[in-house]
Chains A and B, each alone.
Chain A
Amino acid sequence: MDETIAEFIRRTILKIPMSEMMTVLEAWNFLSESQLQTLNLRQRKDSLAQSVVLLCEEKCASLSDAALLDIVCTQVHRHQKIWDVYQMSKGPGEDLDLFDIEQFKSSFKKILQRALRNVTVSFRDAEENAVWIRIAWGTQYTKPNQYKPTYVVYYSHTPYAFTSSSRLKSNIPLLGQALTVASKHHQIVKMDLRSRYLDSLKAIVFKQYNQNFEIHNPTAPLQERSVGLDINTDSRIIHENAVEKDKVQRITQETFGDYPQPRLEFAQYKFWKAAMLTTTPQTPTQSLQFHNRFLETKFKSDLNGGILADREEPLRCLIKFSSPHLLEALKSLAPAGIADAPLSPLLTCIPSRGMNYFKIRDK
């Protein structure tokens, strides 16, 4: 077994937390049962990694086996990568061919290998007709860099593919081309949707988010589910605006629904405006932070004109909302009394339009 492969396997093992070690190794399905039983999980991780490498040497692990281990690790820790979404489309009048997964795989690999002599491509099938592809990029003259691979998750019965954002941006067009041609599509377009949570991206893109999942309790009465505060039993406290509160709850429920929201961490809005922009920053609860760059607030015109008068170039402004769970935070804004209901459609359209990066031009 090559030294580089041994080192690669060793470093991959070191990235796995001890609690998940056995799960990953079993899912990898390369080492035999008896070999796995010889591993002592109570030792330090570097000694464990060494033992695993020795076992792999016994079985003469190849690069593709090591790459498969890397895929399994990434599948378990998919939220450690940021995923972009690509949508492919067929040309007009093209038939829907029967999809042959093996043909797709060989075609995809061939295209990449023809373009760059040195590239490692590995596949792993997953549930729901998904195939995970790992690509380690090299060039005509250098060997593939196994430590900066790109992952693609392609759902074969849909035109959607999810790729992990990589720093090697020059390979993205080639990747897009390979995907399009191998899957017999005509065109590929990058969607303005990006997140760490692959399952949420899937839910948004396949429109599966508006279904109630198992965790939701359908038997609880509506009031208890929607009211965030505890129902106070003290009769000396009287809520005067109960009608308004109900209205806000109703509007929120109509906009966001009863179901748990898909998980996103960012929403970014780029504004280009010829005239002045007035925005009011707010800091709501649930750690929704409002970052603003180039923020211009109210501009009072004075006789001298000031710096911002008579601008010829359009004004640019970037507003980014970030939160551990953006959509749930937006949903709680109106009931918490931090914003008016209904919220701006720019915020509420995120799951339905499948975008969280917006470019808004003021014409």
Chain B
Amino acid sequence: MSVLRPLDKLPGLNTATVLLVGADDALLQQLADSMLKTDCASELRVHLARSLPLPSNVNRPRVDLLVFVINLHSKYSLQSVEKSLHHVDASFFLGKACFLATGAGRENLCSVHRNTVVRLAHTYRSPVLFCDLEVEGSRAAMAQRLARMLQISAGHVPGVSAMSLLSLLRSSESPSLEDL
């Protein structure tokens, strides 16, 4: 059973790899394109996967950041991510994984409630980010944010580690989330 581990490979020189996991191909592709367009000092690599586990026969670089993309319009997307979570090593959730929920703006099309994703992210002690991947501006902003997070997770930013970023992000959560 192949489980994705964060530190099982040596890092590449100045390379940072992000793995986007989500059922919605078109959205992942668009996000990947936006991320590559951002101005980033490190060399970015984007891997797209519909679900985990990944095929084992491929030689791939170390994954520095794992982003689970959930489309709030599709329950299938949530189920696919939930299934994939079983194939991730626990140490990823120390700052190298995050959840991205898209489509919250169009309430009438949402079949997954925001809180479901918030609760899921809370269970895994990881940050959850909301955006609308179908809107150019929102996607570009999120891509920049993810690129920055990726740089930190890959260790390219001196003085900030993935764990410290995680604790910084967590302090902005409202205390009522602990009751969920």
Contact = CB atoms under 8 A, between A and B. Distances in A.
Contact of A240 (B23, B49, B77): B49
Given A234-B36, A281-B111, A337-B25, A239 B76 contact: no
A282 B111 contact: yes
Interface string B67-92: 00000011111001000000000000
A245 B32 CA distance: 18
Nearest to A335: B25
A359 to B, nearest CB: 26
Interface residues on B, range: 20 to 34
A63 B75 CA distance: 58
Interface stretch (B51-59, B139-147, B167-175): B51-59
A337 B45 CA distance: 23
A229 B26 CA distance: 7
B74 A238 contact: no
Contacts of A228: 26
B47 A238 contact: yes
Contact of A280 (B25, B44, B51, B75): B75
B111 A240 contact: no
Contact of B24 (A237, A243, A280, A338): A338
A280 B54 CA distance: 27
Contacts of A229: 25-26, 29
Interface in A229-249: 229, 232, 234, 236-241, 243-245
A283 B25 contact: no
Given A238-B60, A338-B76, A245 B50 contact: yes
Interface in B75-127: 75-77, 80, 109, 111
Interface string A268-282: 000000000000111
B103 to A, nearest CB: 10
A336 B74 CA distance: 11
Contact of A283 (B48, B49, B60, B73): B73
A339 B26 contact: no
A238 B45 contact: yes
Interface of A: 228-229, 232, 234, 236-241, 243-245, 280-284, 335-340
15 contacts: A229-B26, A229-B29, A236-B36, A237-B47, A239-B47, A239-B48, A240-B50, A245-B25, A281-B75, A282-B74, A282-B76, A283-B111, A336-B24, A337-B24, A338-B23
* Top 4 A-B residue pairs of the complex, sorted by shortest distance between their CB atoms: A240-B49, A337-B23, A241-B50, A337-B24
Interface of B: 19, 22-26, 29, 32-33, 36, 43-51, 54-55, 58, 60, 73-77, 80, 109, 111
